[in-house]
Amino acid sequence: MAANSESKQELHAKKAVDRANDVKKLMEETLQEVEAAKDKITNKAEYNMLLGRILNVMPDYDEKAYEYLSKAVKLDPKLVDAWNQLGELYWKKGDISNARNCFTGALTHSKNKLSLRSLSMVLRQVNVTPAEKIALIEESVEKAKEAVQMDISDGESWLILGNAYFSLFFSKGQNPKILTQAMSAYKQAEKDVVAKNNPDLHFNRSSVYKFEENYQAALEGYAHAALLDPGWTDPNVQEQRLLTYLASVAEMVQAKGKVRGKRLQTLSQSPRDSALGPYAGGSYTSAAGKTIKLMRCSFKELEVGLNAEKIVLGKVACTVPNAELVPFTFCMLDEAEMCMPVNVYNLAQGSGVKIGDTVAIPEPFIQHIKVSHKGKEFDYLSVRVSTPVVLVVNGRKLGRDKQVGTVLVVDNLCD
């Protein structure tokens, strides 16, 4: 019987594939019912709002829906539902300014969680200067918090708050505490049976997992998002990109950057201490003014986690292609011919190292990458470098001009 029956996942996927057609059919039927009851609906503003709202269930901008909703707010400027629907329509059209005005306008008439969380999302989309962007994202977090406070059981509001925190993390110094707050909000969202089945939750949280290099959880999240919405291609694209990237890294580590013979011997020759640049004296001064001692060691002597008061020195054997551009990954050979990938974050585009460069990494942070996903297995150690300014390349420390903030977009229009 098991052989002839489909799994629950297959049935769910099949149902999701037909969802768009089902929604359109239901929309048309509901539209006919409301139009047939036109004479019974005495409030014309409500009538136009209902028609616009019905048409607005489809993912694309609808001009007819715009006409109905515009008429509704003209007939009754205090009709909050109409302002929210109109704001969503403007967003679908790409008109962020008018979308923001609609949600702000709705809140002047009545404080409600839908306007608050929609405004939270819109604020993160406004095209302004970097300095102004931080202020808007901070405001975005506050609006999302207000939405949560209005109904702490609403997982959709928790999801928007998680996205707001994640945006704040990248725009304001990448404080680990903020990333923890984002993940905590996502965890709260998952407690809601409705939000739990929102593919955006699993997709956006996977972006956090990927940044943290928790690739196992990221891949599972992308796969789950794709299962919940088979018509949405982004989760599958991200899943495959990540698998391709991991396969490339694992291959290069195994092949030692595909460096062989005399070239391998040359690259793995012990670099002189002078290549340590400002770290050559066996110590450095931290940003807090504290003197940190450093002992040169090989990859084999490193442990998973932060290797305090240690420094590794080696040669670049290869760079690893990455469709996401973040992180910049290269493989490094030490004097024992051990090869380890190095992931550098917040590196300005075009500022990467090249094959043959000598690189020094102080207090390296080692990650154990272990993944088993859809028949693919990866198991290797890697070095994570959060900022390029700690690196010394060919005896010189990289300057601040080599550092740039990572930008990640995690917003989808949620309703």
* 3-state secondary structure labels for all residues of 237-248: HHHHHHHHHHHH
Is residue 407 pLDDT above 90, yes or no?
Answer: no
Q: Which CATH class is domain 8-245?
A: mainly alpha
What is the pLDDT confidence band of residue 410, given thresholds at 50, 70 and 90?
low
Is residue 138 pLDDT above 50, yes or no?
Answer: yes
Distances (CA, A) of 289 to 392, 397, 400: 20, 18, 19
What is the pLDDT confidence band of residue 405, given thresholds at 50, 70 and 90?
low
Is residue 75 pLDDT above 50, yes or no?
Answer: yes
Domain regions of the chain by residue span: 8-245, 256-402
Alpha helices in 255-305 (DSSP H): 261-268
Q: 256-402 maps to which CATH number?
A: 2.40.50.550
**Cα 236 to chain center, whole Å?**
15
Residue 172: its pLDDT value, please? 86
Residue 273: its pLDDT value, please? 82
- As a whole number of angstroms, the distance between CA 229 and CA 219 comes to 16
Beta-carbon contacts of residue 108 (< 8 Å; ≥ 6 apart)? none
Q: In this predicted model, what pLDDT tens digit does every residue of 102-132 receive, in sequence order?
A: 999 999 999 999 999 999 999 999 999 988 9
- Point out the least confidently predicted range of 14-23, 26-35, 275-284, 339-348: 14-23
Which of 148, 151, 195, 143 is CA-nearest to residue 168? 143
Give the containing element (helix H, strand E) for 316.
strand 310-320
Identify residue 247 by its one-letter amino acid code: A
Is residue 193 pLDDT above 60, yes or no?
Answer: yes
Please state, for a pLDDT cut of 90, what percent of the chain lies above it. 71
Q: Cis ω on the peptide bond leading into residue 327 (within 30° of 0)?
A: yes
Residue 10: its pLDDT value, please? 55
Query: Are 143 and 123 a contacting pair, CB within 8 Å?
Result: yes
Q: In this predicted model, what pLDDT tens digit does every residue of 89-99 receive, in sequence order?
A: 999 999 999 99
Identify residue 379 by its one-letter amino acid code: D
Q: What is the mean pLDDT of residues 130-154?
A: 96
Q: What is the mean pLDDT of residues 351-372?
A: 95
Phi, psi at 19, each rounded to 5°:
-60, -40
Degrees to nearest 5, angle at CA 307 with 304 and 312:
105
Alpha helices in 110-129 (DSSP H): 113-123
Residue 6: its pLDDT value, please? 46
Higher-pLDDT residue of 280, 145: 145
What is the pLDDT confidence band of residue 14, given thresholds at 50, 70 and 90?
low
Q: In this predicted model, what pLDDT tens digit does every residue of 18-51 receive, in sequence order?
A: 777 888 899 889 999 998 888 888 899 999 999 9
- As a whole number of angstroms, the distance between CA 208 and CA 223 comes to 15
Query: Are 139 and 147 a contacting pair, CB within 8 Å?
Result: no
Residue 4: its pLDDT value, please? 42
Is residue 5 pLDDT above 80, yes or no?
Answer: no
Place of tokens 């090869």: 339
Mean pLDDT of the chain: 90
Is residue 15 pLDDT above 60, yes or no?
Answer: no
Residue 7: its pLDDT value, please? 53
Which of 370, 372, 314, 379 is CA-nearest to residue 342? 314
- As a whole number of angstroms, the distance between CA 236 and CA 58 comes to 22
Is residue 328 pLDDT above 90, yes or no?
Answer: yes
What is the pLDDT confidence band of residue 271, given thresholds at 50, 70 and 90?
confident
Q: In this predicted model, what pLDDT tens digit does every residue of 222-256 receive, in sequence order?
A: 999 999 998 899 999 999 999 999 999 999 999 99
Q: Largest Cα–Cα distance of the chain, in whole Å? A: 89
Is residue 196 pLDDT above 70, yes or no?
Answer: yes
3-state DSSP assignment of residue 343:
strand
Residue 2: its pLDDT value, please? 41
